[in-house]
Structure 1
């Protein structure tokens, strides 16, 4: 059992200060705010119209922003999915720990049961906790040992989530099934699942043997999405059986939404924490027919509309249940955008004038700013005034900040990189952190300071990612940019500002040398 200490001031005078206007005192469980993370996948700063890029209209995200705080300098901790999610849930930078890179489809649990997570923290505070949607943090004890036909453990329940309805892997990896509380949904015992990431199953179609069966989506050349064909789409990895449990990609968004709404409705009477991980923009992009052709940008644009629809349905339900005022929503993305990420959906050809990365350079996988500077909105009508904040904030701080908000005192060994930035997240502090650390695909680190300087460590990797054609920001020379004057990172000032370069190098060196003891 993981235990925390409740701070003495909560929920006494500090709480009454902001609920007193309601004219009545509620019991403690009712006073705690509900918390929902809407965690998008591969959505960039420029993908939302509220950020000034109206190629794709996102009215529900705009509605959230209108009623909340829209952050213009918010950061995921990494430019790829798994390390961002690891850092967000544990409060520890993923680059500190081996085995936290992009998780394979048959990866074991990356966050081990003995590790304390933000879900544990909420659970100890009396919340009901749930995770719905994309997981991408592994399941089971060790890679390749999962019993997909039984109960796969450890899983989300072992790190603080009372309820889970998640993808077994990711959208482009087998097994293409939903897991509810550790068990495959709708699995027939007469058709057991077999999974391999090394050897194809005899007689089972793959794109290499039966390309004509890829009736829904085909892979981009040389990307590697050419193994088992599931629901008309070739995937990474090999799968056999489980036909009744396999998802249809066009209904993935609805499956996530329905289960999220059910969780909210079932727990409306007491405080809940919901981690809602959407999948829409991640490949393969197969929007529901309701959205096909509506954006004018092809499947990627249509998927953004589907994401916006999900946001709207969540907001509508909170309103109908009369719990919107005391529900804190944080909407953000796990990393920056990518256009062609492995499937031939004409994403580049149909992009037109749309700039998913906004004014920034790079995108998913990259050390350049669009890799980790992501859209972010916080709404809590009962306490947060609407507006725009340029405070420097990082998802690494959600853990400590929300612990402070609900009166939990974290031991030093828990969430070691997370800092209490609740004043920034609630719009009171417009400066935020002194600096944030960013991590690229190959674990190269960058640092951005509150006064707008950015340093990227030297790295000898390729300048362009060979499959996605995204700029990676790799350079054997140190890079220093003034983000205030040059958000596109076009002028390297490392040679002309040696003192600032040295300061920024020291920040990363000190962080790398700092050891953490975690639980």
Structure 2
């Protein structure tokens, strides 16, 4: 018997949020707190076991906790690209970058920080960057251009790529911090340099053993991807990340407390290498990964305490989320798998980082704004690519043709005012998925799925050489493929996906 085509509308609910939040006349401060590799289930309010996150849980108890909000891609660079441009990652050919890659976002491209600058905001980025720097001929010993300044950030303090990639130095306002001019930095991702020892040659120097990819230059007892020489006085200590990054964020907020500011605070935690400060070692039952979650939660608390101390908490919209799903085994032997216990990093979902399944992009997401946003839980279908257009609405900016082409203005949903989110949402992870209400379609992939995701990382990739269709309302873990039962729906969703992938939008679709 032929199956009846199911209704594919989006049924969502918001509980606790009041109906008509009143926005203040003055422009609010905006703080995006962005964790790294933090899974949906890695915070207390979403069921974490073996680690406590009281500061994040406090945000959730007083704000809106989203159960179906997503990053745009299951890896870090693409999600950050979409966040800052309002454009799907595939449009910018965004992929995970090496540490010496040129700036991925073009200086002439419209960006979220530049839009906020034009709306009267002072802007800053603090923390992990991983969007490339320079123009392809990067000299770490001079001013680095182009960089965050050229795409709209007034102030920047960066981990240039990630903690597992050289160079292991901070970059403030596009210059390496603490660099001795007589000890020039050199970086190479292809050829070994006569600089620091490597993990391959000197495993006895390592705090954590690493796989071959991460077994190059050793800095602070941890081997990294890539080779580096020089810059000894500028080298970071991983254990100092939480204090240095939060202090830079707090200083920026204090110095700009009398005018609207935008702060993009991108934590390194809980990305590898996980090297929590001794203050947090042993605070969880899960070893370094759990301790890094506790450390990250402390940093969140520091940000909120600073806002309260400055009397800015009711004048500041805070968005907390993560860049992609969780991963346990990601290159370093830190017992993340062995000490997991009953904890479920992905919550009730399947997959994780690198995966097209829901856990790859379904993120812990909280919006907190005392006095404007009331406590509640929202199941609205939302994507981080929409932050651009939604914040443009908040500050009264009219999007121009070509600006934030994939971003939809869903401010009402982000503030918990309405349960209406996206009708259709793209997911990216070495293939493409499409959400339409409770339905999830995964496009057939040509050729085999990357084996390293399942075999090396222990994560279900969700990729196959045949189409997949899941009803998430009945099958949260995406185990029962309904593609053969609903061929018309598969065809319709594939056509919708192809339209997104093929279009070259000339203007913002939400206008």
| TM-score for both structures, normalised by structure 1 | 0.91
Q: Shift of residue 498 of structure 1?
A: 1.4
1:132 corresponds to which of 110, 115, 126: 126
1:106 corresponds to which of 100, 105, 124: 100
Is there any run of 5+ residues in structure 1 with no aligned partner, and where?
A: 1-14, 20-27
Q: Which structure has the higher relative contact order (CA within 8 Å, separation 6+)?
A: 2
Write the distance in 2 (CA, Å) between the matches of 1:386 and 1:160: 33
Matched, 1:288 2:280: no
Give 3-state SS (helix, strand or coil) of 1:467's partner: helix
Give 3-state SS (helix, strand or coil) of 2:297's partner: helix
Query: 2:156 maps to what in 1?
Result: 164
Query: 2:327 maps to what in 1?
Result: 338
Matched, 1:179 2:179: no
Write the distance in 2 (CA, Å) between the matches of 1:297 and 1:267: 38
Query: 2:364 maps to what in 1?
Result: 375
Query: 1:205 maps to what in 2?
Result: 197
Q: Is the 8 A contact 1:463 1:474 kept in 2?
A: no
Query: 1:49 maps to what in 2?
Result: 44
Q: Is the 8 A contact 1:337 1:357 kept in 2?
A: yes
Q: Is the 8 A contact 1:79 1:364 kept in 2?
A: yes
Is there any run of 5+ residues in structure 2 with no aligned partner, and where?
A: 1-19
Write the distance in 1 (CA, Å) between the matches of 2:49 and 2:192: 45
Matches within 5 A, 1:286-365: 286-365=275-354
Matched, 1:455 2:441: yes
Q: Shift of residue 217 of structure 1?
A: 2.1
Q: Is the 8 A contact 1:464 1:471 kept in 2?
A: no
Q: Is the 8 A contact 1:70 1:389 kept in 2?
A: yes
Q: Shift of residue 510 of structure 1?
A: 1.2
Write the distance in 1 (CA, Å) between the matches of 2:161 and 2:352: 23
Aligned residues: 486
1:508 corresponds to which of 489, 497, 502: 497
Give 3-state SS (helix, strand or coil) of 2:470's partner: strand
Query: 1:25 maps to what in 2?
Result: none
Partner deviation per Cα, 1:437-461 (whole Å, 9 max, x = no partner): 0000x2x0001112x0000011131
Partner deviation per Cα, 1:54-110 (whole Å, 9 max, x = no partner): 432110000011111000000000000000000110001011232x10011100000
Question: Which range moves more in the overlay, 464-473 or 84-93?
Answer: 464-473
Write the distance in 2 (CA, Å) between the matches of 1:325 and 1:123: 21
Q: Is the 8 A contact 2:50 2:290 kept in 1?
A: no
Matched, 1:32 2:27: yes
Q: Shift of residue 517 of structure 1?
A: 4.4
Q: Is the 8 A contact 1:163 1:181 kept in 2?
A: yes
Query: 2:114 maps to what in 1?
Result: 120
| TM-score for both structures, normalised by structure 2 | 0.93
Query: 1:404 maps to what in 2?
Result: 393
Write the distance in 1 (CA, Å) between the matches of 2:406 and 2:39: 25
Q: Shift of residue 504 of structure 1?
A: 1.4
Give 3-state SS (helix, strand or coil) of 2:314's partner: coil
Partner deviation per Cα, 1:139-183 (whole Å, 9 max, x = no partner): 0011xx211011010000000000000012210000000000000
Partner deviation per Cα, 1:287-343 (whole Å, 9 max, x = no partner): 000000110100000000001000101111111111100100000000000001000
RMSD: 1.6
Give 3-state SS (helix, strand or coil) of 2:120's partner: coil
